[in-house]
A = this chain, B = another copy of it.
Amino acid sequence: MTPQSPITVLVCAGAPKPDLDSLKNIYQSSDQAYLIGVDYGCLSILKTGLKLNYAVGDFDSVSPEECLQIQAASDRFEQLIPEKDNTDTEMALYHIKKLIEEGYEIEAIYLLGCLGPGGRLDHTIANLWMAFHPDFKDLFEQIIFLERACQVQVFQPGNYRLTDRLDSDYLSIIALTPIKDWIIEGAKYNLSQSEWTYPRALISNEFVNPKDIVTLSFSQGLVVVLWIREQAQAKD
């Protein structure tokens, strides 16, 4: 791997049922992919037959034998003490920042196994909460959470054109903070310039036609968009 060519980073954390099909597809269609396993997520990646560029975690969710197996299959391996201030997944993001400092150009960052379905709710929230962390603000411009039942992206103030990348049933647009000049256009339910002093969840919106573009804009705050597939989580 050379720092000159842009890399697609795939991070798999430990929530149940990560979307390994998407992981493999993205890996195969990327010029250069960089695979990061987080704790039990390392085993998920190894199950696909791929190796790990970086493995990180306190590895309290795997057996000592599995831990050795992960270590043997990783270019770089870092075992953290359980008593730490950052979560294992946050440590993966710090590693990505280090790659950028080392000169790597990042094409895209996909996080899998972070939001569920069926994982620990506190982990789900903590993983989404990484978007608030000042250290990760720039990184989040390239981050997409990718799960079987949903795709999730966090947006800073600006104007965005959202396409239906996932054959979704629902498009949910949720403010994570108070918000100013919030506009949604081109969706089934639209919103004209609106201001909210508290975070507001506008869920179960829809693309009217699959090829439509929904425009989202706001001048202040943080917004998370979820493309939801209703039945996708039933698949094993």
A residues apposed to B, CB below 8 Å: 83, 87, 115-126, 129, 132-134, 147, 149-150, 152, 170, 172, 174, 189, 198-201, 203-204, 224, 226, 228, 230, 233
**Highest count of chain B CB atoms <10 Å: which of A120, A122, A126, A204:** A122
Collect the chain B residues with CB atoms within 8 Å of residue A150's CB: 120-122
Is B203 in contact with A123, judged by CB distance below 8 angstroms? Answer: yes
- Interface SS of A by simple majority: mixed
Q: Which residues of B contact A124 (CB under 8 A)?
A: 121, 124
Instruction: Out of B118, B122, B199, name the residue touching A233 (CB < 8 Å).
Output: B118
A116-B116, A117-B116, A117-B117 in contact; A122/B87 too (CB < 8 A)?
no
Which residues of chain B are within 8 angstroms of A117 by Cβ–Cβ distance? 116-119, 121
- Residue of B at shortest CB range from A152? B121
